């Protein structure tokens, strides 16, 4: 009797627990972290598990608008070819918010010879993690995602909650950490946690953030950086679906409102060695408190060194740069410190077992796989070259910004394009085409004549 493929076993087990699926949604993140894919019917389930399927490889290289860019392969110039694709083991789950029984699974694109496709964000991250793995080191990571809940019925973009009782007016002030804000969206949060549990997404704390209608949901640390990014993109999808159900719109733009706080994607990372010990607090100097071990300092040094050229990864869109402003709780300098929320790399309160850093520069609009790849590249580059991070920002210190992180889209594209280090980790071709993709979108964005043009210039000039 032929042995059943593990993926067939997996889908049967999931359906036994959650019921038969009428369709299976197959998903892959693209260059911007936007999920692309297709649905297959039950007669194709086992075929998709056993032999895989084919998929448009260029779907991983599209702009935010879903357009191809001339000069980038696997697009309009070369006939938009298909490549083999295979499901990711462990990713099959129900879609609880679907009207009819629906399952989902993540997949990856491969080359014709079965090797990883260079433009698959999972492959980019896996390649970037390889140097750390050669050192016997495993990152233990978690992500934090900030977002706004907007009114899904309004014709204008406006916050959906909290409102002043007895009115339809938004509560003024930040109301940060206010528990009543969570009660106002309790049904939404209940669905998020229930659906996360169904999809094995380890959601943890939820908090009311620094602006009305802004929230943050944290994910649990895992010792698989790729899986952590799977969790992040699936959490986004769950949050958006739960918001729709409750008449809201989940907004992950980096800066949806000019004078309100932006939304970040924060990465927490510790590293364990082959014996399972915290690599940052172990070693000759064995310092888990300031000024910290050389290992932690070198890792941070690499992150800060690469931060200007890696800004485009964490701030990929035009709106991303609205967030990178001084005095808005967003980091605009390659700096670091303990328990300070304005620095780029923060060392949270921790002990020798969980000593870690928090990377804070990226926006919620960024691709988690690429942000994680940029962080892993910086850490390895710093460890390999023993890069000193410079003077630490003292707890409670006021920072006078020097704007060493590019705060304009084109400047970030230029710095990324000139990087000599990032292509060694993310891949030369990937970096080349990533920059081309972002530059093409930037040119299109800035060619649009907006209402602001008329407001500022029609009468005056």
CATH number at residue 86: 3.10.20.70
The reply to whether 47 and 174 lie within a common domain is: no
Determine, yes or no, domain membership for 452. no
The total domain count for the chain is 2
**Mean pLDDT calculated for residue range 240-250:** 95
The reply to whether 261 and 152 lie within a common domain is: yes
311, 330 contact by CB (below 8 A): no
The reply to whether 148 and 183 lie within a common domain is: yes
The reply to whether 251 and 380 lie within a common domain is: yes
Q: Which of 100, 119, 138 is the last residue before a domain boundary?
A: 119
For residue 144, what pLDDT band results from cuts at 50, 70 and 90?
A: very high
Kindly report which listed range (145-149, 153-157, 321-325, 330-334) carries the lowest average pLDDT score.
153-157
- Give the residue carrying structure tokens 């953030």: 209
CA atoms in the 13 A half-sphere facing the CB of 111: 7
What digits encode the pLDDT tens for the residues 309-354? Answer: 999 999 999 999 999 887 766 788 899 998 777 899 999 888 888 8
Q: At what angle do helices 225-245 and 121-134 cross, to 10 degrees?
A: 150
pLDDT in the model for residue 157 = 74
CA-to-CA distance for 110 and 122, rounded, in angstroms? 11
The reply to whether 48 and 150 lie within a common domain is: no
Beta bridge partners of 109: 85
pLDDT in the model for residue 235 = 97
The reply to whether 114 and 150 lie within a common domain is: no
CA-to-CA distance for 394 and 385, rounded, in angstroms? 25
150, 158 contact by CB (below 8 A): yes
Q: Which of 57, 89, 119 is the last residue before a domain boundary?
A: 119
**Mean pLDDT calculated for residue range 113-126:** 95
Kindly report which listed range (119-128, 215-224, 286-295) carries the lowest average pLDDT score.
286-295
Determine, yes or no, domain membership for 437. no
Closest CA to 332 of 317, 314, 356: 314
The reply to whether 115 and 133 lie within a common domain is: no
Backbone angles phi, psi at 16, to 5 degrees: -65, -35
Determine, yes or no, domain membership for 219. yes
Stronger pLDDT, 44 or 342, i.e. the higher one = 44
Mean predicted lDDT score pLDDT of the chain = 91
pTM for the predicted model, two decimal places: 0.94
pLDDT at residue 283 greater than cutoff 70: no
pLDDT in the model for residue 173 = 66
Q: Which of 97, 119, 141 is the last residue before a domain boundary?
A: 119
The reply to whether 113 and 135 lie within a common domain is: no
The reply to whether 104 and 140 lie within a common domain is: no
pLDDT in the model for residue 123 = 97
Kindly report which listed range (157-161, 182-186, 323-327, 348-352) carries the lowest average pLDDT score.
157-161
The reply to whether 134 and 158 lie within a common domain is: yes
**Mean pLDDT calculated for residue range 255-283:** 91
The reply to whether 139 and 254 lie within a common domain is: yes
Domain that holds residue 390: 128-426
- Give the residue carrying structure tokens 């299109």: 444
pLDDT at residue 107 greater than cutoff 90: yes
What digits encode the pLDDT tens for the residues 381-394? Answer: 999 999 999 988 87
- The CATH number of whichever domain residue 220 belongs to comes to 3.30.590.10
pLDDT in the model for residue 350 = 83
423, 128 contact by CB (below 8 A): no
Determine, yes or no, domain membership for 72. yes
Q: Secondary structure of the chain in the HEC alphabet?
A: CCCCCHHHHHHHHHHHHHCCCCEEEEEEECCCCCEEEEEECHHHHHHHHHCCEEEEHHHHHCCCCCCCCCCCCCCHHHCCCEEEEEECCCCCEECCCCCCCEEEEEEEEECCCCCECCCCHHHHHHHHHHHHHHCCCEEEEEEEEEEEEEECCCCCCCECCCECCCCCCECCCCCCCCHHHHHHCHHHHHHHHHHHHHCCCCEEEEEECCCCCEEEEEECCECCHHHHHHHHHHHHHHHHHHHHHCCEEEECCCCCCCCCCCCEEEEEEEEECCCCCECCCCCCCCCCCCCCCHHHHHHHHHHHHHHHHHHHHHCCCCCHHHHCCCCCCCCCCCCEEECCCCCCEEECCCCCCCCCEEECCCECCCCHHHHHHHHHHHHHHHHHHCCCCCCCECCCCCCCCCCCCCCCHHHHHHHHHHCCCHHHHHCHHHHHHHHHHHHHHHHHHHCCCCHHHHHHHCCCC
pLDDT in the model for residue 261 = 85
CA-derived radius of gyration, the chain: 22
Kindly report which listed range (51-65, 83-97, 196-210, 285-299) carries the lowest average pLDDT score.
285-299
Determine, yes or no, domain membership for 347. yes
The reply to whether 35 and 150 lie within a common domain is: no
**Mean pLDDT calculated for residue range 262-267:** 94
221, 140 contact by CB (below 8 A): yes
Determine, yes or no, domain membership for 455. no
Determine, yes or no, domain membership for 324. yes
Q: Phi/psi zone of residue 373: left (φ > 0), alpha (ψ -120 to 50 degrees), beta? A: alpha
pLDDT at residue 183 greater than cutoff 90: no
CA-to-CA distance for 133 and 211, rounded, in angstroms? 40
Determine, yes or no, domain membership for 414. yes
Measured CA to CA in angstroms, residue 404 lies from 10, 122, 306 at distances of 49, 30, 11
The most confident of the ranges 65-79, 151-165, 359-373 is 359-373
Question: For a pLDDT cut of 70, what percent of the chain falls above it?
Answer: 93
């Amino acid at each position: 009797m032929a042995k059943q493929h593990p993926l067939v076993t997996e889908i049967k087990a999931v359906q036994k627990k959650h019921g038969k699926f009428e369709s299976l949604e197959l998903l892959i993140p693209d260059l911007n972290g936007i999920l692309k894919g297709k649905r297959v019917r039950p007669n194709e389930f086992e075929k998709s598990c056993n032999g895989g399927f084919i998929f448009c490889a260029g779907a991983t290289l599209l702009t935010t608008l879903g357009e191809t860019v001339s000069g980038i392969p696997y697009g309009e110039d070369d006939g938009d070819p298909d490549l083999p694709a295979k499901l990711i083991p462990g990713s099959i789950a129900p879609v609880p918010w679907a009207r009819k029984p629906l399952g989902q699974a993540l997949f990856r694109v491969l080359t014709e010879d079965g090797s990883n496709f260079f433009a698959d964000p999972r492959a980019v991250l896996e390649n970037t993690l390889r140097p750390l793995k050669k050192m016997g080191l495993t990152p233990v990571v978690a992500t934090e995602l900030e977002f706004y809940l907007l009114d899904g019925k309004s014709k204008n973009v406006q916050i959906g909650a909290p409102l002043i009782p007895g009115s339809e007016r938004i509560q003024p002030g930040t109301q940060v950490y206010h528990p009543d804000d969570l009660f106002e969206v309790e049904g939404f949060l209940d669905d998020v946690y229930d659906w996360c549990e169904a999809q094995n997404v380890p959601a943890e704390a939820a908090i009311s953030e620094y602006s009305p209608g802004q929230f943050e949901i944290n994910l649990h640390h895992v010792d698989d950086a790729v899986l952590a990014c799977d969790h992040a993109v699936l959490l986004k999808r769950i949050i958006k679906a739960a918001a729709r159900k409750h008449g809201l719109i989940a907004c992950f733009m980096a800066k949806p409102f000019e004078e309100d706080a932006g939304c970040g994607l924060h990465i927490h990372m510790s590293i364990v060695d082959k014996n399972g010990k915290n690599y940052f607090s172990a070693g000759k100097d064995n310092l888990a408190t300031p000024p910290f071990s050389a290992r932690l300092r070198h890792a941070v040094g690499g992150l800060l060194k690469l931060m200007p050229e890696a800004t485009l990864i964490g701030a990929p869109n035009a709106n991303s740069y609205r967030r990178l402003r001084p005095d808005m709780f967003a980091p605009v300098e390659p700096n670091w410190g303990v328990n300070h929320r304005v620095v780029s790399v923060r060392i949270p309160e921790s002990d020798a077992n969980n000593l870690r850093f928090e990377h804070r520069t990226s926006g919620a609009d960024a691709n988690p796989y690429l942000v994680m790849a940029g962080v892993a590249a910086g850490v390895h580059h710093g460890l390999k070259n023993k890069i000193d991070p410079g003077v630490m920002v003292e707890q409670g210190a006021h920072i006078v910004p020097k704007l060493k992180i590019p705060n304009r889209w084109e400047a970030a594209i230029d710095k990324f394009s000139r990087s000599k280090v990032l292509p060694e980790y993310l891949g030369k071709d990937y970096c080349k085409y990533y920059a081309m993709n972002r530059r093409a979108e930037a040119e299109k964005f800035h060619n649009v004549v907006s209402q602001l043009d008329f407001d500022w210039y029609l009468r005056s000039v």
